[in-house]
Amino acid sequence: QVIDGTGKYLFPGLIDVHTHLREPGQEEKEEIATGARAALKGGFTTILAMPNTKPVLDQRALVEFVSNQGERAAGAKVYPIGAITKGEEGKELTEMVDLAAGGAKAFSDDGREVQNAELLRLAMEYVKLTGLPLISHCEDDNLARGGSMHKGEVSARLGLRGIPSSAESVMVARDILLAEETGSKLHLAHISAKESVELIRAAKLRGVDVTAEVNPHHLIFTDEAVAESNYNTSYKVNPPLGSAQDREALLEGILDGTLDMLATDHAPHTWEEKMKPFAEAPFGIAGFETSLAAVWTYLVKPGKLPVEVLLRAWSLNPAQRFNLLGGKVQPGEIADLVLFDPEQKEKIESKWFTSKAQNTPFLGQELQGFACMVWVNGQLRLGK
Ligand code: DOR
Ligand code: ZN
Ligand code: ZN
């Protein structure tokens, strides 16, 4: 087959290391199959699935279930992330070695940070036996409790209870210190505050084995969006959209490599739940299908983010850190590839989605820059 790629980019397969597929347990929000196909449409050839399902991915059989469903979906490749602790209590460690043998590519407490430092320290000692990274959600329960947006001038003006930046940064500091002491691999999820960026930069200078990711929504929006959108709950996300200074520090962090990766934190929810008042709606933005185009439209096209940085952050660095194919294909190996059309424009409407969820701030907008053909393991899975 001869493909005319004039005016297009051939990207290595993009890897999304932070996604929520909701199966088992909340299939009304998303299924592994709908999520994996939505990810493919968004340009991702590999995704890592967070363990905060119902039940949580705390047993080998559950980890294997996610892998198997992922394979059947024939979308992006799906790899499970095992839970650090059993159930939703966060009190007892899982059998991480067993979960790794079942196919887990990392371990995480996403959705509910381990609050007990002693237990997390033990988890870090234990995770070393698997050689895999521990992914931390970085949120202090007490500081964050009851808040629905970033605590600052905007939350005060709107009369909404805020979540201070320290809810994230104190846990970033703690987790870095624990990783430094134990010598384990740490990955920090969805970094949103400038104080966190500074802590990570300093830790890397000291040689701590830490990587970190940033979500497109934190690079594109600020807490002003909550006011400007008249409390649109599609802007309600955890960690919350921060100040303009936070956004600037995050962009600087991705440009200088302090923040290693881009990740969507695809968090699908039903309309019914997102229709609730701002303070009561669940946190989360659905990101699979719009994230690449949003980053292209808002950051790459205006010259704020070089395409080389995008590819390092969304393919090479995730591939290296989590030991996945995609950004690090050797000659002779079977490739994951994306043909990307920087001129393709799409109006983001309800009927356009492959995901079950549409809780995105880009709904109703036009975005530019989409994947037009996607190959997974050398097999064409999207486009023709
Ligand atoms: O906004 C979020 N949604 N942040 C999280 O940490 C969890 C996620 C979810 O599971 O919905
Ligand atoms: Zn999280
Ligand atoms: Zn998440």
Per residue in 46-89, pLDDT (tens digit) is: 999 999 999 999 999 999 999 999 999 999 999 999 999 999 88
Question: Is any ligand 1 atom within 6 A of the Cβ of residue 112?
Answer: no
Check residue 110 and give its pLDDT. 77
At residue 334 the predicted structure's pLDDT band, cuts being 50, 70 and 90, is confident
What is the rounded radius of gyration, in angstroms, for the C-alpha atoms of the chain? Answer: 19
Contact between residue 40 and residue 381 where contact means Cβ atoms under 8 Å apart: yes
Question: Is any ligand 1 atom within 6 A of the Cβ of residue 52?
Answer: yes
Question: Is any ligand 1 atom within 6 A of the Cβ of residue 136?
Answer: no
Contact between residue 275 and residue 282 where contact means Cβ atoms under 8 Å apart: no
Q: List alpha helices for the chain, DSSP H.
A: 32-41, 60-73, 96-101, 117-127, 141-144, 153-158, 166-182, 194-206, 216-220, 224-228, 244-255, 271-274, 291-295, 307-311, 317-322
Express the helix, strand and coil content of the chain in percent, nearest 5 each: 35, 20, 45
Lowest mean pLDDT among 86-90, 175-179, 270-274, 373-377: 86-90
* Structure ipTM over 0.90, yes or no: yes
Mean local confidence (pLDDT), 127-132: 98
How far is the CA of 318 from the CAs of 186, 233, 381, in angstroms?
Answer: 13, 30, 21
Q: Which atom of ligand 1 is nearest to the CA of 20?
A: 10
Report the share of the chain in percent with pLDDT over 90: 94
Check residue 328 and give its pLDDT. 61
Q: Is residue 136 scored above 70 in pLDDT?
A: yes
Mean local confidence (pLDDT), 118-147: 97
Q: Is residue 364 scored above 90 in pLDDT?
A: yes
DSSP 8-state symbol, 266: B
Bridge-based pairing of strands 134-136 and 107-108 is parallel
At residue 326 the predicted structure's pLDDT band, cuts being 50, 70 and 90, is low
Q: Which atom of ligand 1 is nearest to the CA of 52?
A: 10
Q: Is residue 1 scored above 90 in pLDDT?
A: no
Order of strands across the sheet with 379-382?
Answer: 9-12, 337-347, 366-376, 379-382
Catalytic (active-site) positions:
265
At residue 112 the predicted structure's pLDDT band, cuts being 50, 70 and 90, is confident
Residue 98: strand, helix, or coil: helix
Check residue 138 and give its pLDDT. 97
Return the closest-CA partner of residue 261 out of 222, 307, 214.
214
Planar angle of CA 323, 329, 335, nearest 5 degrees:
110
Ligand 2 centroid to 35 CA: how many Å?
Answer: 18
> What is the dihedral angle through the alpha carbons of 294, 296, 297, 299, rounded to the nearest 10 degrees?
100
Return the closest-CA partner of residue 111 out of 35, 55, 63, 47.
55
pTM: 0.97
Check residue 257 and give its pLDDT. 98
Q: Which atom of ligand 1 is nearest to the CA of 284?
A: 1
Contact between residue 361 and residue 285 where contact means Cβ atoms under 8 Å apart: yes
Check residue 36 and give its pLDDT. 98
Question: Is any ligand 1 atom within 6 A of the Cβ of residue 139?
Answer: no
Question: Is any ligand 1 atom within 6 A of the Cβ of residue 283?
Answer: yes
Return the closest-CA partner of residue 93 out of 128, 48, 64, 140.
128
Ligand 3 centroid to 120 CA: how many Å?
Answer: 18
User: Peptide bond preceding 51: is omega within 30 degrees of 0, i.e. cis?
Assistant: no
Q: Is residue 325 scored above 80 in pLDDT?
A: no
Ligand 1 mutation pick, 18, 52, 171, 269, max ligand atoms within 8 A of CB:
52
Check residue 329 and give its pLDDT. 66
Ligand 1 centroid to 258 CA: how many Å?
Answer: 23
Ligand 3 centroid to 298 CA: how many Å?
Answer: 22
